[in-house]
C-alpha cells in the first residue's frame, strides 16, 4: 500500500463555492480518501495549519493582512500549492473593489447601503489591504486550477494526477468563468 499523501484545503477571501465543487466529486470522494489524508480543512475540525503538507487546495483571493500571513505560512509548509478557483488565480470578484478607494468601499458597504447603521467596524477584525490580490502575487503557485467554480471532474483529475506524481495538463480542460 503506497504511503497516503496529506491534503489540506482552505479558503481565504472566497465564497466556498470551490469547496462545494470539491465535495461534488460525489462517490469519487472515497477514492480521494484512499489516496489523501485530509489534514486541514474547513470541513475538518483542525485549528493549526500542519507542517509539510503534500498538496494544498487554496481557494479565495488575498484581501487582508491575516490572509497574507496565512498564505505565506501555507506556502512554507506545502509541497504543491494549488490556486484553487478563479478567486485564487485572478482575484476574480473580490478584486472588483480594487479600483475604488478603500474608505469609499467602507462607506458604501456599511453606511450608504445599510440605513440606520453609522459605524464602520474596525476592532478585532482583519485589516483590509488597499487591494485584493491573487495568490501568486505573494507566493509561488505550483498549479493553477481555473474555474468559478472549477468542475468536480477537473478537481478530481488534478488530485489524481498529482497523486501519480504527474503535473496536471489543465489547459484544454479548464478555463476562467
Partner 1 sequence: MSSSVKIKTLTIDERQVGARENQTILEVARENGIKIPTLCYLKGLSPYGGCRMCIVEIAGSPKLLPSCMTTVEEGMVVSTNSDRIKKYRKNLLELYFSERNHVCSVCASNGYCELQSMAQKVEMSHVHFPYMYPHLDVDATHERYVLDHNRCIACTRCVRVCDEIEGAHTLDIKDRGIEVRIITDLDRPWGESETCTQCGKCVHVCPTGALIERGKSVGEMSKRKQLLPYLTKMREAHE
Partner 2 sequence: MTPEEFKKIGEAHQKKRESFNYNINVCTAAACVSLQSEKVKEELIKQVKEQNKKDDCRVSGTGCLGLCASGPLITINKNKALYGGVKPEDAPEIVKNIAKKPVKRLQIPTDMPFFARQTKMALEHCGKTDPEVIGDYLAKEGYEALYNCLTTMEPNEVIDMMVKSGLRGRGGGGYPVGLKWSTVHKAVGFKKFVICNADEGDPGAFMDRSMLESDPHSIIEGMAIGAYAVGASHGYVYIRGEYPLAIKRLRAAIRQAERQNFLGKNICGTPFSFDVEIRLGAGAFVCGEETALIASIEGKRGTPRPRPPYPAQFGLWGHPTLINNVETFANISPIVRKGADYYASIGTERSKGTKVFALAGSINNTGLIEVPMGITLREIVFEIGGGIVGGKKFKAVQTGGPSGGCIPEEYLDMKVDYESLAQVGSIMGSGGMIVMDETSCMVDVAKYFMDFCRSESCGKCAPCRVGTAQMYNLLNLISQGKATMHDLALLEELCDVVRNTSLCGLGQTSANPVLSTIRFFRDEYLAHINDKKCPAGVCAIEHKEEAVL
For residues 81 and 93, what is the distance between their CA atoms, to the nearest angstrom? 21
Q: Which of 6, 92, 154, 158 binds partner 1 (CB under 8 A)?
A: 92
**Residue closer to partner 1, measured from CB, 39 or 141:** 141
Contact letters for partner 1, residues 58-87 (x by CB under 8 A): -------------------------x--x-
Using the rule CB under 8 A, is 66 a contact of partner 2?
no
Using the rule CB under 8 A, is 129 a contact of partner 2?
yes
Q: Which residues bind partner 2 (CB under 8 A)?
A: 65, 68, 129, 137-139
Q: Which residues bind partner 1 (CB under 8 A)?
A: 83, 86, 89-93, 95-96, 98-100, 131, 134, 136-137, 141, 144, 146, 148, 170-172, 175-177
Amino acid at each position: 500500500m503506497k504511503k497516503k499523501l496529506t491534503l489540506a484545503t482552505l479558503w481565504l477571501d472566497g465564497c466556498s463555492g470551490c469547496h462545494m465543487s470539491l465535495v461534488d466529486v460525489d462517490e469519487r470522494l472515497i477514492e480521494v480518501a484512499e489516496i489523501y489524508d485530509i489534514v486541514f480543512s474547513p470541513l475538518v475540525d483542525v485549528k493549526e495549519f500542519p507542517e509539510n503538507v503534500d498538496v494544498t487546495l487554496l481557494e479565495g483571493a488575498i484581501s487582508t493582512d491575516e490572509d497574507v500571513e496565512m498564505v505565506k505560512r501555507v506556502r512554507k509548509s506545502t509541497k504543491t500549492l494549488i490556486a484553487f478557483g478563479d478567486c485564487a488565480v485572478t482575484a476574480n470578484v473580490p478584486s472588483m473593489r480594487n479600483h475604488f478607494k478603500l474608505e469609499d468601499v467602507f462607506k458604501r458597504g456599511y453606511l450608504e447601503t445599510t440605513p440606520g447603521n453609522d459605524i464602520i467596524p474596525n476592532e478585532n477584525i482583519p485589516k483590509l489591504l488597499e487591494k485584493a490580490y491573487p495568490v501568486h502575487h505573494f507566493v509561488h503557485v505550483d498549479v493553477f486550477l481555473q474555474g468559478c467554480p472549477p468542475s468536480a471532474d477537473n478537481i478530481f483529475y488534478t488530485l489524481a494526477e498529482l497523486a501519480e506524481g504527474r503535473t496536471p495538463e489543465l489547459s484544454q480542460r479548464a478555463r476562467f468563468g
